[in-house]
Amino acid sequence: MKKIIEVKNLKKSYKNNKALDGLDFDLYEGEILGILGPNGAGKSTTINILSTILKKDEGEITYFGMSTEKNLKYIKANLGVVPQDIALYEDITAYKNIEFFASLYGLKKQNLKDAVEYALKFVGLEDRKNDLPKHYSGGMKRRLNIACSIAHKPKILILDEPTVGIDPQSRNHILTSLRELQKEGTTIIYTTHYMDEIEEIADRVIIVDKGKKIEDGKIGELLTKYDETSLEDLFLNLTGRSLRD
Ligand code: ADP
C-alpha cells in the first residue's frame, strides 16, 4: 500500500518538557488510522505538527512523498483538519461559515457553492444551513466544524477528538460520515478517548506513550499478540494507564 504520510524521529519539546521523543509512524492511502495514548502522551502535539500549525524541533515528515519545505502550498490544499476546540463564527450562518473556510482554499463562485452544498449534505445540516451556530446543539456544532474542514475535499483528514461531549445521534452521524469519506478515497487520522469509537472505525491503531510509538497494528492482531480480549485491557497492559487517566 502507498504511504501517504511518513513520520520519522519526530521530536518536540516545550521548554524542558519532551512532548515528542522520536516518534515514527506511517499513514497508508485509504485507511483510517487511530492514534491512542494516555493524557500527555503527545497526541495533540503530533496532530498540530502534522496539520502544519506547530513547528517540529527535529525529524522528518513527508506527505505524498514530498517534504513541507518545498511543497507546503500543495500539502495544505490537500489537508483537512478538524480541531479539538470548535472553531466557528457564532454570529454568521452555518452556510457562511463553510463558505468562509472553503474560500481559504481558493474555491470561488460555482465551485464554492458546490463545495458548501456538498459539505452541508455530508453532515446532514442542509435544513439548518441558514441558522446561526450559536443556536445549534453541541452535536450540530461538531458536525458543522467537520463540514468546514471537508468542503475542499482534502485527500487527508485529521480529526482531534471530534466527538467530545455530543449526543449519540450526532456521534453516529460523524462515524458513518467518516466511513463514507473513506469510500470516496479520503485517508483519515483519528484521535479519541473513546475506545469503542476506535474499535468501530479504525483500520489500524498506533499506541503512543511518552512521545514515542509503543505499538502499531490492526486491533485484532494486537489483541492476539498480547493475548488480550479488549482494546481497553491491551492499552492498560502496554501503558500501565487507562485512557481516561
Ligand atoms: P495528549 O494530546 O496526548 O494529551 P499533548 O500533545 O497535549 O498530549 O501533550 C504532550 C506533553 O506536552 C504534555 O506533557 C503536555 O503537558 C505538554 N504540552 C502540550 N502543549 C504544551 C504547551 N503549549 N506548553 C507547554 N507544554 C505543553
Confidence (pLDDT) at 145 = 94
How sure is the predictor about 1, in pLDDT bands with cuts at 50, 70 and 90? confident
Please tell me if the CB atom of residue 30 comes closer than 6 angstroms to any atom of ligand 1. no
Please tell me if the CB atom of residue 129 comes closer than 6 angstroms to any atom of ligand 1. no
Confidence (pLDDT) at 85 = 85
How sure is the predictor about 220, in pLDDT bands with cuts at 50, 70 and 90? very high
When mean pLDDT is compared across 163-167, 198-202, 204-208, 227-231, the lowest value belongs to: 163-167
Residue with cell 473556510: 101
Confidence (pLDDT) at 245 = 64
More confident residue, 84 or 103: 103
Provide the percentage of residues in the chain whose pLDDT is more than 90.
80
Please tell me if the CB atom of residue 37 comes closer than 6 angstroms to any atom of ligand 1. yes
Give the residue, by CA position, lying nearest to ligand 1 atom 17.
19
Q: What is the rounded average pLDDT of the residues 67-89?
A: 91
* Dist CA 83 CA 48 (whole Å): 9
How sure is the predictor about 244, in pLDDT bands with cuts at 50, 70 and 90? low
Contact 88, 141 (CB under 8 A): yes
Please tell me if the CB atom of residue 39 comes closer than 6 angstroms to any atom of ligand 1. yes
Task: Please give the DSSP secondary-structure letter assigned to residue 56.
Answer: -
- End-to-end CA separation in angstroms for the chain: 35
* Dist CA 202 CA 181 (whole Å): 13
Give the residue, by CA position, lying nearest to ligand 1 atom 27.
14
Q: Which atom of ligand 1 is nearest to the CA of 211?
A: 10
Best of 45, 212, 213 for a ligand 1 pocket test (most atoms within 8 Å of beta carbon)? 45
* Dist CA 112 CA 97 (whole Å): 12
Residue among 146, 4, 6 at smallest CA distance from 78: 4
- How many angstroms is it from 61 CA to the middle of ligand 1? 20
Q: Is 134 helix (H, G, I), strand (E, B) or coil?
A: helix
Residue among 165, 180, 213 at smallest CA distance from 27: 213
Which tens digits make up the pLDDT trace of 2-40?
A: 999 999 999 999 999 999 999 999 999 999 999 999 889
Task: Please give the DSSP secondary-structure letter assigned to residue 220.
Answer: H
| pLDDT exceeds 90 at position 55 | yes
| pLDDT exceeds 70 at position 221 | yes
Q: Is 9 helix (H, G, I), strand (E, B) or coil?
A: strand
Please tell me if the CB atom of residue 41 comes closer than 6 angstroms to any atom of ligand 1. yes
Give the residue, by CA position, lying nearest to ligand 1 atom 22.
14
- How many angstroms is it from 40 CA to the middle of ligand 1? 5
Confidence (pLDDT) at 34 = 96
Please tell me if the CB atom of residue 112 comes closer than 6 angstroms to any atom of ligand 1. no
Please tell me if the CB atom of residue 17 comes closer than 6 angstroms to any atom of ligand 1. yes
Which tens digits make up the pLDDT trace of 107-155?
A: 999 999 999 999 999 999 999 999 999 999 989 999 999 999 999 999 9
Confidence (pLDDT) at 51 = 94
| Residues in contact with 238: Cβ distance below 8 Å, sequence separation at least 6, in sequence order | 207, 209, 214, 215, 226
When mean pLDDT is compared across 115-119, 172-176, 229-233, 240-244, the lowest value belongs to: 240-244
When mean pLDDT is compared across 98-112, 143-157, 228-242, the lowest value belongs to: 228-242
Q: Which atom of ligand 1 is nearest to the CA of 38?
A: 3
Buried-exposed string 88-117: b where 16+ CB fall within 10 A, e elsewhere: beeeeebbbbbbebbeebebeeeebeebbe
Give the residue, by CA position, lying nearest to ligand 1 atom 21.
14
Q: Model's pTM, two decimal places?
A: 0.94
Residue with cell 457564532: 90
